[in-house]
Amino acid sequence: MSLRHDLRVIRAVAATDIRLTLREPLFAIIGVLIPINFLLLFLLFAISGGQAPIAVVMNDHGPLAERFVQAMDGAHSFIIHTATSAEAESEIRAGSIVAVVTVPQDFDAALGAGARVDVPVEVNNLNVDFTNDIRRAVPLSITSFYADAFPDQVVVSALESDVQAQDTGYIPYLAVSIVVAGLMLAAILQGSVNTARDYELGTVKELVLAPVGRLAIGLGKMLGSAALTVASALLVLGVVILVIGVHPLHPLEVLGFGLLMIAAFLALGVLAGTLVRRRQQAIPLSIACILPLFFLSGPFGPANWLGAVPGAIAAVSPLTYAIAAFQHAFHGYQTATQDLAVDTIVLAVFTLVTVVLTALVFRRRGVAH
């Protein structure tokens, strides 16, 4: 009978939280749309900064000149289009491209005769990142072209052996990291906003004084927030899988780790809501927590590549372990030194510790405003 009663309490508390959230569409929309905006913002950032737009002026259309442009395309560092000399100069002056690479006249003839060939590269060095990309990728393209066109003359070559079974593009890798950050943001927003609302409306006093177990109340509130978080999570996952085309290699891992992440980050959101007790403060606090943790948790590559100090910070961030787990779920490889069991344990322990801290804060501060 007690278990049945507790289940009714859990269901009633969860339904009440969902109903109250839906009655305030502004906060419901914020909780669902901010994570998807987060995803789109970073993907646009990645798309715009991934490859340098350049123009290639083809003053020679021989087979070697064509193979040279193919080698540049194979460097995966450029967005290439051909243009006349006047068009390319106009574009670089307007700032619409980063560089102009000119294939000189008699390119094929000079190479056939063994003569030196200089390839003019005009760089708009306004952005140092793009500039360095050009300075690295153009010599690499020349080396790759020469090794392919004249293999007998290139006596030193790299023998590559890959650790992973397949290459992963910049966008697919980053998209998975952003999904985790979106899950964290959605869960923290829902948990903190729902908790802060109880303090604003005074319903937290009614819950505390009600003749029901606090565990059942806590589980009900977690369930209500989780239901709303899942809606946001499904939207983010839908964009990544259906629109971007990043399909999970291990769907069951996505489900299991997704639920574990939601529980962990909901607990953090409830703690934040218990501390601030105001929704207008809970929302910016949630966003402020995400941004530094996101960049310090290995979203662009393994966290242990970040260096000593950032790597040490990443080691204590739950987002690091969540990203590593989801990268395995989607792409099938482990991006950190620890295995999936450690990722699971860290997220579970983080959830329990956060729940305990929330209980201590609640007991110490009471329900008074």
Instruction: Tell me the HSE value of 315 on the side-chain side, using a 13 A CA sphere.
Output: 10
CA angle 39, 43, 49 (to 5 degrees): 150
Q: What is the pLDDT of residues 3-20, one digit of tens each?
A: 776 777 777 777 777 777
Distance in angstroms (rounded) separating the CA atoms of residues 176 and 180: 7
Calculate mean pLDDT across residues 182-191. 85
Confidence tier at 103 by pLDDT (50, 70, 90): very high
Closest C-alpha among 57, 70, 68 to residue 111: 68
Calculate mean pLDDT across residues 57-62. 94
Q: What is the pLDDT of residues 219-234, one digit of tens each?
A: 777 787 788 788 888 8
Confidence tier at 77 by pLDDT (50, 70, 90): confident
Domain locations in the chain? 2-45+167-365, 52-153
Distance in angstroms (rounded) separating the CA atoms of residues 254 and 240: 13
Q: What is the pLDDT of residues 190-202, one digit of tens each?
A: 888 888 888 887 7
Calculate mean pLDDT across residues 171-198. 85
Beta bridge partners of 52: 78
Check whether 28 has a pLDDT greater than 90. Answer: no
Check whether 137 has a pLDDT greater than 60. Answer: yes
Calculate mean pLDDT across residues 352-363. 79
CA angle 67, 68, 72 (to 5 degrees): 115
Q: Residues 62-73, buried b or exposed e (16+ Cβ, 10 A)?
A: bebbeebbebbe
Q: Report whether CATH 3.50.50.60 matches the domain 52-153.
A: no
Distance in angstroms (rounded) separating the CA atoms of residues 340 and 328: 8
Please give the pLDDT value at position 1: 47
Query: Looking at this protein, which amino acid is placed at residue 92?
Result: I
Closest C-alpha among 321, 354, 355 to residue 338: 321
Q: Give whole-number Cα distances, 146 to 58, 59, 78, 116, 121, in Å.
A: 18, 19, 19, 12, 18
Query: Looking at this protein, which amino acid is placed at residue 276?
Result: V
